[in-house]
């Protein structure tokens, strides 16, 4: 009964978050939905824990929560910003990890009818995004009203495609439909989307039941070809942001673009606040602009367009520089988390769960790419994607258990 309650409640919460936390989030101005969803997930997790005989908790979740609480205390201790700013940034930064670990812990299982409904929603919303995308080629005002920015079109289309893939049987037809849905995001004109599309096409078609994850000439050549193709389609933006943008020349402050400046000066923050970082709400995050951080003044960044106290619109325009808040230790822990998730995904590959491996790796790559030029991981779309990432692991586990039961029953019948 407990698991049935968890499954049904999570299903409705998942669909609610998809509709109001992804598709119509910007159009309706529902800025509270992701926080509401995070609270609901925590409530569902608490219900699950208190209704299990041994109060089952996930160790990695507790470690992650402990790390965040340590940095919260550290931030208060060094008084890096106001208490309200520190607490606000703490919640924002923790939110995606809460989404992943709570779902991974109470392991909701979506039945075939639920998956069919979600798959249908993914297709319907993809058509909606397609219409918005086509109109945006001629008039951007509609897109700005419904999605606020082209990048939202790209991430929303990616979510719909990955949702379809998750709910599919991973046949050739399903893979082709997945790529068609993903192609809607190409209308955004984002170079990241082009690169991700190439990666997705490679993963879903090259990795199959015969694939073996090992170093050999065939895999090296194909991997090199894919990397070259990605660099080719995103080179213009890479050059613009990271070469023309100022990373190669620090002589003239006025020549910096905001995003490149955030990367460049993050090195100073890592160095000046070694090894634990500058603390919550101090650098390259929304709250560091809302409660303007002293670091921007200290480094002379307060004169740069989009990074000023009166106009901090580009302060949270990327994510990796924000890791300077947590120092080299936090930087290491961030990538250690994703390495641990990747190892779990590879384990699924060895167990024969090809679809779940591909889905997990695609979501990991999505975040690693997105974090270069957006803070998606801390936004509404990032929270939903982390829920889906957890589902991909839960689904493969439930499938393994189901396959074991089938084999066991067949063996008992044969006796």
Taking only the tens place, the pLDDT of each residue in 245-266 is 444 443 334 334 788 889 999 9
Cα separation of the two ends of the chain: 32
Q: How many domains does the chain have?
A: 1
Asked whether residue 222 is assigned to any structural domain, the reply reads no
Domain for residue 41, yes or no? yes
Residue 20 counted as domain residue? yes
| Closest of 405, 5, 75, 11 to residue 273, by C-alpha | 75
68 belongs to a structural domain: no
344 falls within a domain: no
Domain range for 122 is: 2-56+107-207+352-407
Quick one: DSSP state of residue 242?
I
71 part of a folded domain: no
CA–CA gap between residue 273 and residue 261 (Å, rounded): 18
In a domain, 91, yes or no: no
Task: Please choose, from the candidates 64, 68, 63, 71, the residue with its C-alpha nearest in 3D space to the C-alpha of residue 278.
Answer: 71
**180-233 pLDDT per residue, tens:** 999 999 999 888 898 899 889 988 988 766 555 565 666 666 667 667 766 666
pLDDT bucket at 117, cuts 50 / 70 / 90: very high
Instruction: Confirm whether 285 is domain-assigned.
Output: no
pTM: 0.88
Q: Which of 110, 10, 175, 194 is nearest to 395 (CA)?
A: 110
């Amino acid at each position: 009964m407990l698991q049935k309650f968890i499954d049904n409640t999570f299903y409705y919460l998942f669909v609610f978050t998809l509709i109001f936390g992804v598709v119509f989030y910007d159009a309706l101005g529902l800025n509270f939905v992701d926080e509401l969803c995070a609270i609901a997930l925590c409530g569902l997790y608490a219900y699950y824990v208190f209704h299990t005989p041994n109060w089952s908790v996930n160790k990695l979740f507790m470690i992650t929560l402990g790390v965040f609480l340590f940095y919260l205390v550290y931030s208060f201790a060094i008084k890096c910003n106001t208490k309200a700013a520190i607490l606000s940034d703490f919640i924002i930064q923790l939110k995606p990890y809460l989404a992943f670990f709570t779902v991974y812990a109470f392991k909701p299982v979506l039945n075939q009818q639920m998956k069919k409904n979600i798959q249908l929603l993914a297709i319907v919303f993809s058509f909606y995004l397609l219409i918005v995308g086509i109109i945006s080629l001629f008039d951007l005002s509609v897109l700005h009203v419904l999605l606020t920015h082209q990048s939202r079109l790209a991430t929303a289309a990616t979510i719909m495609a990955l949702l379809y893939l998750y709910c599919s049987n991973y046949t050739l037809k399903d893979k082709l439909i997945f790529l068609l849905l993903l192609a809607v995001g190409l209308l955004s004109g984002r170079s990241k989307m082009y690169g991700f599309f190439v990666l997705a096409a490679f993963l879903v078609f090259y990795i199959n039941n015969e694939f073996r994850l090992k170093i050999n000439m065939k895999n090296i050549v194909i991997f090199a070809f894919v990397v070259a193709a990605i660099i080719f389609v995103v080179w213009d933006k890479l050059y613009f942001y990271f070469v023309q943008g100022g990373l190669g020349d620090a002589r003239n402050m006025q020549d910096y673009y905001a995003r490149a400046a955030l990367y460049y000066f993050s090195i100073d923050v890592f160095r000046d606040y070694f090894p634990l970082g500058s603390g919550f709400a101090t650098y390259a995050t929304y709250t560091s602009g809302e409660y303007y951080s002293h670091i921007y003044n200290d480094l002379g960044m307060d004169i740069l367009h989009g990074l000023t106290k009166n106009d901090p619109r580009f302060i949270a325009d990327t994510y990796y520089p924000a890791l300077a808040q947590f120092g080299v230790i936090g930087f290491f822990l961030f990538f250690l988390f994703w390495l641990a998730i990747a190892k779990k995904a590879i384990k699924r590959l060895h167990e024969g769960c090809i679809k779940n491996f591909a889905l997990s790796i695609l979501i990991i790559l999505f975040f690693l790419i997105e974090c270069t030029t957006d803070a998606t991981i801390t936004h509404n779309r990032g929270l939903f994607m982390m829920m889906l990432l957890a589902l991909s692991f839960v689904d493969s586990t439930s499938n393994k258990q189901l396959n074991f039961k089938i084999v066991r029953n067949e063996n008992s019948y044969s006796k």
